[in-house]
A = this chain, B = another copy of it.
Amino acid sequence: MLALRFDNEARVVEIDPPAPGPGEALLAVRRAGICSTDLEIVRGYMGFTGTLGHEVVAEVLEHPDPSWVGRRVAAEINLACRRCERCARGLERHCAQRTVLGILGKDGAFAERLTMPTANLHPIPDGVSDDLAVFVEPLAAAFEILEQVHVEPTDRVAVLGAGKLGTLVAMVLERTGAELTVIGRHARRLEALARRGARTCLADAPVDGPFDVVVEATGSPEGFARARALVRPRGTLVLKSTFFGATSVEMAPLVIDEITLVGSRCGPFAPAIRALDAGRIDPSPLIEETFALRDGVAALARAAERGVGKVLLAPGT
């Protein structure tokens, strides 16, 4: 099968398809999405080598329960041991023994086939197209913010960064009823969000702050200081980028202003699937271009251009 793999460089190669282990399903990838994390990995983040990709909608080819065969699924990307204390406490996404699809010790979804533990599979309703279903994973990451932070309808909320993740975060947070401001670098993206009713602001323009909750989703080290400056005393700053190396942080002002910083990563799939199925959130305007898997290297290059939306891979084409 074809797979887009990284080992010092990203290449599309022909490899043997994976064989499902006990309790695992074999999946045929229908669509996979390129995430900023994939681009970071290609720059060396996580030290990962292997098949890239963790945003995926796929069809079940083999499953221990035959009734699953033929169903379309999204796949929870953290493969937990399901035996340790963290797993027992419901912290499977933080299992210390976990592998992570296309990120840590597990070949990813930029391939024709992948294997996944059946416990990680989430059926996709028929009404949700492949192009939408591929957003389940990043949309779940956006919903994670609401798992961690009580955003109140009277809050003033800012999302810093109007890229792929920032836009999904804005779509989720807009539904809380809070007054939402999205701050980004690209007028085109902001215009799309403004049409949905968000206040928008170019990154170098003055902002009518401060905010009760600020989400840092720029994917750049400069984002932290900017986000910090926008949050009110006793407010909450959500860190959504896994970009940074070490950042120099003045701790005393965080203490004096009693700021709460919340690191936020993967989230719950169920609310993301419900929102897509009900049409409450439509990320399709985010799609920039769809590439055949054999053109995966060009797809990565396209996804790395500034201001570009979601680039998809379609293995079957």
Contact = CB atoms under 8 A, between A and B. Distances in A.
A240 B264 CA distance: 22
A258 B264 contact: yes
Interface string A203-224: 0000000000000000000001
Interface residues of A, number: 36
Interface stretch (A106-114, A118-126, A243-251, A297-305): A243-251
A207 to B, nearest CB: 17
Contacts of A244: 250-252
A295 B251 CA distance: 33
A260 B150 CA distance: 14
User: Interface on chain A toward B: helix, strand, loop, or mixed SS?
Assistant: mixed
Contacts of A248: 246-249
A233 B94 contact: yes
A135 to B, nearest CB: 20
A194 interface: no
Interface string A156-168: 0000000000000
Contacts of A252: 45, 242-245
Contacts of A148: 258, 260
A255 B242 contact: yes
Given A94-B234, A234-B94, A254 B261 contact: yes
A258 B249 contact: no
Nearest to A103: B256
Interface string A251-269: 1101111111111110000
Contacts of A246: 248-251
A82 interface: no
Contact of A265 (B224, B256, B263, B264): B256
A241 interface: yes
Contacts of A71: none
Contact of A259 (B232, B254, B259, B263): B263
A168 to B, nearest CB: 16
A1 to B, nearest CB: 30
A248 B221 CA distance: 12
A274 interface: no
A259 B262 CA distance: 6
A241 B297 CA distance: 48
Interface string A68-97: 000000000000000000100001001000
A265 B91 CA distance: 30
B264 A239 contact: no
**Which has the most chain B C-beta neighbours within 10 Å: A234, A242, A259?**
A234
A258 B93 CA distance: 10
A243 B262 CA distance: 22
Given A248-B247, A250-B246, A233 B264 contact: no
Interface of A: 45, 86, 91, 94, 144, 148, 224, 232-234, 239-252, 254-265
5 contacts: A240-B255, A243-B252, A248-B248, A251-B263, A260-B261
